[in-house]
Structure 1
Amino acid sequence: MTGVTLKQAIKRYGDVQVIHGIDLEIEDGEFCVFVGPSGCGKSTLLRMIAGLEETSAGEIHIGARDVTRLDPSDRGVAMVFQTYALYPHMTVGENMGFGLRMNGVPAAEIKEKVGMASDILKLGPYLDRKPKALSGGQRQRVAIGRAIVRGPEVFLFDEPLSNLDAELRVEMRVEIARLHKDIGATMIYVTHDQVEAMTLADKIVVLRAGKIEQVGAPLELYRDPDNRFVAGFIGSPAMNFLGGKVVAGGVEVPGLGRTVAVEASLPSEGTEVTLGVRPEHLEVRRGEGALSAELSEALGGVSYLHLDTPTGERMIVEERGDDRASEGDTVDVTFEPRRAMIFDRETGLRIR
């Protein structure tokens, strides 16, 4: 297996540039996830690596080879799409081995490779079934198996779980994580779901408007985001953001009705900033303060309390245990100073 390197990769459609000089190093055997909102360029970037989209400028290397101008079939990659794209008249085994058969691979070798892939994906009992007799998760495993039998250097996944229901998505996340552990291949995975990104990735690449916002391990991005966009995108529920102003002793936050101490090198007094704090780092105090509990989402072991502030800003607090606030309660929230993050109001960059 081998890694992938992008050097100032650019994609244009006519006069419109959608990928803006991407530099990225994906190590051999790494599970890298491209994540970002719809239209950020993550699927386009994946298709450029696959060769399905022409690279307008820059270079793409797979291992030691410059594959920028190579055809998709010559790049040593296999792609798993959002749609299963299985042949309905073929069995599972025939679907998995079809590409090899078209390339003239001997039948005995095809059988061996299909058997190996089916063992990895636990598809052995289904090899003689047609796709219509499979569940959605099983069909997606067949699509992954079709990629495995090709023995690619790099696996590419383009939102492969989007068509599955919630339970199957969780099941398939576990399957894909196990697959990576078993075969140790370099994998690049595209999703808009940051939960998938956090649970699967060795490395996350956060994209916005065709540019990289930050690259890092999942917990690194969660604990130490570079800007407000990354802070708000990584973590579920999203980080709370409140407007504030630097004053002596900390940040004055009108939404909380007080000045809060923070552990950051603050700019000069009077500078407008944004304070961010995650729902799980807030603690509720009932019967005091000026925050109104608008809604409580009780999910069993955890509840999410939605709060209205006097300034019209919204907050979400994660609550656990048996003593939880209810809708209509008046509350205050507290948090440790080290949990607060401060962002420049204009640029969105983190102030550390």
Structure 2
Amino acid sequence: MTGVTLQKTIKRYGETQVIHGIDLEIKDGEFCVFVGPSGCGKSTLLRMIAGLEETSEGHIHIGARDVTRMDPSERGVAMVFQTYALYPHMTVEENMGFGLKMNGVPKAEIARKVHAASDILKLDNYLKRKPKALSGGQRQRVAIGRAIVRGPEVFLFDEPLSNLDAELRVEMRVEIARLHKEIGATMIYVTHDQVEAMTLADKIVVLRAGHIEQVGAPLELYRDPDNRFVAGFIGSPAMNFLNGTVVEGGIDVPGLGRRVTTQVKLPALGSAVVLGVRPEHLVVQMGQGGLKAELSEALGGVSYLHLDTPTGERIIVEERGDDRAAAGDIVDVTFEERRAMVFERDSGLRLR
């Protein structure tokens, strides 16, 4: 197995540039997740690594090889798509071994590799079935198995769980995490779902409009985002943001109706800033304040309380325990000063 390096990588369609000079190193054996909103360029970047999209400028290395102008078949990668792309007239065993068969690999070698992959993916009981007799999760495991038998240097996953229901998505996340641990391959995974990113990745690459916003381990991005975009994208529910103005001794936050003190180095008095606090860091004070609870989403062990502020900004509070607020209650919220983050209003950069 081996790593992947992108150097000043650019992609253009005609005069429209969609990937803007990406520099990125993915280490050998790392599970790297590209995450971001629709249209951010994450699938395009993955397809450039696979060779399915031409690289306009820059270089892509897989290990020591510059693969920028190589055909996909020469790059040593295997890709798993959102759609399973299985041959309906072939059995699971035939689907998994078809690529090797087309390359003239001996039957005994194909059988050995297919059964080894089947054992890893727990597909031994389904090898003689055809795709129509499988569930969505089983079909996706077959598609992953087809990639495994090729023995690639790098596995590429393009939103492979998007077509599965919620329960199967959780199951397949566990399967893919277990697979990575077992075979230790370099894996690059594209998703718009930040929960998948947080639970699977060794390294997350947050993309927006063809640019990298931040790269880091999941908890590093969660705890120490560089800007408002990353802070709002990583974490579920998203971070709460409230407009404020720098005043003597802190930040005046109209949405909370008070001044908030902070140890952050603030800009000049009168500067516009944004205060960010995560839902789990807020504490509800019952029977006081001036925030009205519009909705309480009770999910069992946790509830998400939606509060309206006088400025029209929405606050979400995570509540646990037995004593929880209900829709219609008038409450206040408090939080530890060290939990709050402050961002420049215009640029979105975090103040530290």
**TM score, norm. by length of structure 2:** 1.00
Matched, 1:303 2:303: yes
Once residues 75 and 173 of structure 1 are traced to their aligned partners in structure 2, the CA distance between those partners, rounded to angstroms, is: 26
Aligned amino acid, residue 234 of structure 2: I
Once residues 70 and 200 of structure 1 are traced to their aligned partners in structure 2, the CA distance between those partners, rounded to angstroms, is: 29
Partner residue in 2 for 1:238: 238
Is contact 1:284-1:334 (8 Å) kept? yes
Runs of 5+ consecutive residues of structure 1 not aligned to the other structure: none
Partner residue in 2 for 1:278: 278
Partner residue in 2 for 1:290: 290
SS of structure 1 residue aligned to 2:214: strand
Task: Detail structure 1 runs of 4+ shifted over 3 Å in the superposition.
Answer: none
Once residues 297 and 168 of structure 2 are traced to their aligned partners in structure 1, the CA distance between those partners, rounded to angstroms, is: 23
Is contact 1:263-1:340 (8 Å) kept? no
Partner residue in 1 for 2:21: 21
Partner residue in 1 for 2:168: 168
Matched, 1:52 2:18: no
How far does residue 37 in structure 1 lie from its aligned partner after superposition? 0.1
Aligned amino acid, residue 161 of structure 1: L
Partner residue in 1 for 2:127: 127
SS of structure 2 residue aligned to 1:231: helix
Matched, 1:191 2:191: yes
Once residues 75 and 165 of structure 2 are traced to their aligned partners in structure 1, the CA distance between those partners, rounded to angstroms, is: 33
Partner residue in 2 for 1:332: 332
The correspondence of residues 203-222 of structure 1 with structure 2, limited to 5 A, is: 203-222=203-222
Deviations 1:90-145 (A, max 9, x none): 00000000000000000000000000000000000000000011000000000000
Number of aligned residues? 352
Is contact 1:254-1:311 (8 Å) kept? yes
Is contact 1:91-1:130 (8 Å) kept? yes
Once residues 260 and 167 of structure 2 are traced to their aligned partners in structure 1, the CA distance between those partners, rounded to angstroms, is: 41
Partner residue in 1 for 2:158: 158
Partner residue in 2 for 1:312: 312
Once residues 28 and 156 of structure 2 are traced to their aligned partners in structure 1, the CA distance between those partners, rounded to angstroms, is: 14
Deviations 1:186-210 (A, max 9, x none): 0000000000000000000000000
SS of structure 1 residue aligned to 2:259: strand
Partner residue in 1 for 2:8: 8
Query: Percent sequence identity over matched residues?
Result: 85
Once residues 272 and 12 of structure 2 are traced to their aligned partners in structure 1, the CA distance between those partners, rounded to angstroms, is: 37
Once residues 261 and 173 of structure 2 are traced to their aligned partners in structure 1, the CA distance between those partners, rounded to angstroms, is: 40
The correspondence of residues 53-132 of structure 1 with structure 2, limited to 5 A, is: 53-132=53-132
How far does residue 254 in structure 1 lie from its aligned partner after superposition? 0.2
Aligned amino acid, residue 78 of structure 1: A
SS of structure 2 residue aligned to 1:310: coil
How far does residue 263 in structure 1 lie from its aligned partner after superposition? 2.5
Once residues 216 and 162 of structure 1 are traced to their aligned partners in structure 2, the CA distance between those partners, rounded to angstroms, is: 24
Once residues 29 and 169 of structure 1 are traced to their aligned partners in structure 2, the CA distance between those partners, rounded to angstroms, is: 23
Once residues 313 and 95 of structure 2 are traced to their aligned partners in structure 1, the CA distance between those partners, rounded to angstroms, is: 53
Aligned amino acid, residue 313 of structure 1: E
Please, which moves more after superposition, 243-252 or 329-338?
A: 243-252
Aligned amino acid, residue 317 of structure 1: V
How far does residue 13 in structure 1 lie from its aligned partner after superposition? 0.2
Once residues 57 and 174 of structure 1 are traced to their aligned partners in structure 2, the CA distance between those partners, rounded to angstroms, is: 37
Is contact 1:82-1:160 (8 Å) kept? yes
SS of structure 2 residue aligned to 1:34: strand
Aligned amino acid, residue 338 of structure 1: R
Partner residue in 2 for 1:252: 252
Aligned amino acid, residue 349 of structure 1: L
Once residues 250 and 321 of structure 1 are traced to their aligned partners in structure 2, the CA distance between those partners, rounded to angstroms, is: 32
Please, which moves more after superposition, 222-231 or 266-275?
A: 266-275
Once residues 303 and 86 of structure 2 are traced to their aligned partners in structure 1, the CA distance between those partners, rounded to angstroms, is: 41
How far does residue 152 in structure 1 lie from its aligned partner after superposition? 0.1
How far does residue 287 in structure 1 lie from its aligned partner after superposition? 1.0
Q: Considering only aligned residues, what root-mean-square deviation do their CA atoms show, in Å?
A: 0.4
SS of structure 2 residue aligned to 1:155: strand
Once residues 221 and 51 of structure 1 are traced to their aligned partners in structure 2, the CA distance between those partners, rounded to angstroms, is: 29
Once residues 249 and 19 of structure 2 are traced to their aligned partners in structure 1, the CA distance between those partners, rounded to angstroms, is: 43
Is contact 1:48-1:54 (8 Å) kept? yes
How far does residue 262 in structure 1 lie from its aligned partner after superposition? 1.6
Once residues 149 and 189 of structure 2 are traced to their aligned partners in structure 1, the CA distance between those partners, rounded to angstroms, is: 19
**TM score, norm. by length of structure 1:** 1.00
